[in-house]
Structure 1
């Protein structure tokens, strides 16, 4: 309360969907969703129960002191969601909703949701189940660009991320980095956007580009 910092509760695992495919193998669990949905739902339910139990125990002790809760599940590839919106709504969304509801019973802190990739067709669903902050908004052309995000969700979500780690930090110039950061800050707004790398910074990046990004944000 006196430091100017926030206290964030990081996600406890990769996520409900990802934990299931880690247990079964990604390809096999994708098949399960289509060919063996009863088994898939049983596994999803059990994994969700474990997640909820951990969060309830943790937030029961520290919930009043938490400023942000982070959950996660990777739903997107480079061009599209990993599963169709219809499949997400039928098989995965109910368990995400149950987890968020359990978290909300223990804390009023905003919920940050992490998903890599192109998840634009799923964002309405995430808002519906209580997501407040979206991370890492990978800058994929025509999918997660800041103009589209602002137009559709600027009044409903706060955005975290956006700094291109796949191309710009690796091969771009400092001027290109500054232009990129300014675009996101101007488009998404100072009060609706937290500038950060749009995933883990990769080995081989140009350090001067990361410095330029943070200097631009601080001086904006």
Structure 2
């Protein structure tokens, strides 16, 4: 295995300075990012840890069925390397952040999970659990997981593994209806996203319709807390600027109600 080398002293000094500046000069809460893992979504683990690139993501998914011991060994190495990096980052700037991104690991397509949820629980979940446990034992961070697609059947496993915050909440994917997610998982995990659909809404409707859409989403996600407003993933280049403004205005307006 080819280990991840970690961060240089120069990078860590710069991170510490940036974190201190933002902490001392703004009122923003900070989410940290870097040093995490990727077990499934893009199969980057094969590029990061193996002497030979295994190629397409489908090959890694086949290995999860046919070469389980090897996959566990590779993911163990990935977690070890990630913990090394996260320790460096925490020592440098950890006190300035309330949460840290442990992975950008897309586990779903538009219609379903990439792999059987039982296989995910067997192969992927233990390694997330190890990583989340280290974060919770050694830092004050909440764990933040980015995972696109239809991942409804994986959310209970993510919660059990110790994931505190889930993003981007791709509500246009199968089984990812906001009311269903809030009803079944609200209070167990924080939803970060899902506030405005970037696939079928943001570029195609009027600003007034955007405001209505955002208000409807917040009416579902906001009650009881456990929600951070954000659109679903990145805003695309074809989205009119006035729609972005309408989204933010609606979020600010609704977010202040009842306070």
Asked if TM exceeds 0.5, the reply is yes
216, 220, 236: which one aligns with 1:183: 216
1:61 to partner: Cα distance? 3.5
User: Which position in structure 2 is the counterpart of 1:111?
Assistant: 143
1:106 to partner: Cα distance? 2.2
1:136 to partner: Cα distance? 0.6
Q: Where do residues 148-163 of structure 1 align in structure 2 (5 Å cutoff)?
A: 148-162=180-194, 163=196
8 Å contact 1:63–1:107 — kept in the other structure? Answer: yes
7, 16, 20: which one aligns with 2:45: 20
- 1:12 partner SS: strand
8 Å contact 2:142–2:165 — kept in the other structure? Answer: yes
Q: Where do residues 1-220 of structure 1 align in structure 2 (5 Å cutoff)?
A: 3-12=26-35, 15-17=38-40, 18-20=43-45, 22=47, 23-24=53-54, 25-72=56-103, 73-140=105-172, 142-162=174-194, 163-189=196-222, 191-220=225-254
1:54 to partner: Cα distance? 0.7
Q: Distance in 2 between matches of 1:202 and 1:21?
A: 29
Listed as ranges, the gaps of 5+ residues in structure 2 are 1-22, 48-52, 255-259
8 Å contact 1:20–1:29 — kept in the other structure? Answer: no
1:203 to partner: Cα distance? 2.1
Q: Distance in 2 between matches of 1:206 and 1:174?
A: 9
- 1:16 partner SS: coil
Q: Distance in 2 between matches of 1:65 and 1:208?
A: 34
Aligned-residue Cα RMSD (Å) equals: 1.9
8 Å contact 1:60–1:106 — kept in the other structure? Answer: no
Moved more, 175-184 or 116-125: 175-184
Listed as ranges, the gaps of 5+ residues in structure 1 are none
1:135 to partner: Cα distance? 0.7
TM-score, length of structure 1 as denominator length: 0.92
Moved more, 119-128 or 154-163: 154-163
Q: Distance in 2 between matches of 1:202 and 1:157?
A: 27
Count how many residue pairs are aligned between Structure 1 and Structure 2: 220
8 Å contact 1:21–1:28 — kept in the other structure? Answer: no
Q: Distance in 2 between matches of 1:124 and 1:194?
A: 19
1:108 to partner: Cα distance? 1.9
Q: Distance in 2 between matches of 1:142 and 1:31?
A: 24
The 3 A distance-change label for structure 1 pair 202 and 123 is same
